[in-house]
């Protein structure tokens, strides 16, 4: 068994790097690109290492994690089964409420679009037309045939 990998001193730099990566993830892909450019300008091997990490972890070509709504997926147990059941039920209810609210917003947008279209059609129908404004079905003027 290797005691070096288990020592707290060996894990400290990794925790620092993980916290830096989490900080950059919160700020999005632009922060990663800025860190990449700055590191290439200062110390190019570090920039190369960051570029390799971005490609390996799919941060460069994948979707930006900070722009998406996180769906809660709890895989870890807290150790308290009552709390875990409460948390899972609450998350399920919140997801259901979010889905119903998004449905409500969609219906609201559709109703608004329909009202605007109906208003446009009413305005168009009530607009006065002159004798030479005879139009055909395709919207072009009739040449008086």
The verdict on 59 and 28 lying in the same domain is yes
The verdict on 64 and 80 lying in the same domain is no
What is the mean predicted confidence (pLDDT) over 17-43?
85
Residues of the domain holding 112: 69-126
pLDDT band at 68 (very low <50, low <70, confident <90, very high): very low
Does the pLDDT of residue 142 top 70, yes or no? Answer: no
The verdict on 74 and 110 lying in the same domain is yes
What number of CA atoms fall less than 13 Å from residue 10's CA on the CB side? 6
The verdict on 51 and 84 lying in the same domain is no
Residue 3 domain flag:
no
Boundary of a domain, candidates 44, 68, 92: 68
**Structural domain count, the chain:** 2
Does the pLDDT of residue 80 top 80, yes or no? Answer: yes
Residue 92 domain flag:
yes
Render 107-131 in DSSP notation, one character per residue: HHHHHHHHHHHHHHHHHHHHS---T
Higher pLDDT, 64 or 126: 126
The pTM for the full model equals 0.36
């Amino acid at each position: 068994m290797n005691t070096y990998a288990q020592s707290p001193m060996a894990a400290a730099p990794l925790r620092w790097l993980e916290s830096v990566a989490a900080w950059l993830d919160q700020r999005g892909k632009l922060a990663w690109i800025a860190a990449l450019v700055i590191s290439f300008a200062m110390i190019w091997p570090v920039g190369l290492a960051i570029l390799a990490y971005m490609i390996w972890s799919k941060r460069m070509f994948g979707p930006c994690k900070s722009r998406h709504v996180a769906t809660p997926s709890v895989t870890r147990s807290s150790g308290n089964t009552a709390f875990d059941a409460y948390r899972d039920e609450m998350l399920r209810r919140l997801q259901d409420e979010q889905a119903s609210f998004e449905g409500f917003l969609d219906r609201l947008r559709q109703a608004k679009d329909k009202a605007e279209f109906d208003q446009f059609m009413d305005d168009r129908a009530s607009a006065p037309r002159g004798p030479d404004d005879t139009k055909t079905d395709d919207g072009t003027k009739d040449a008086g045939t």
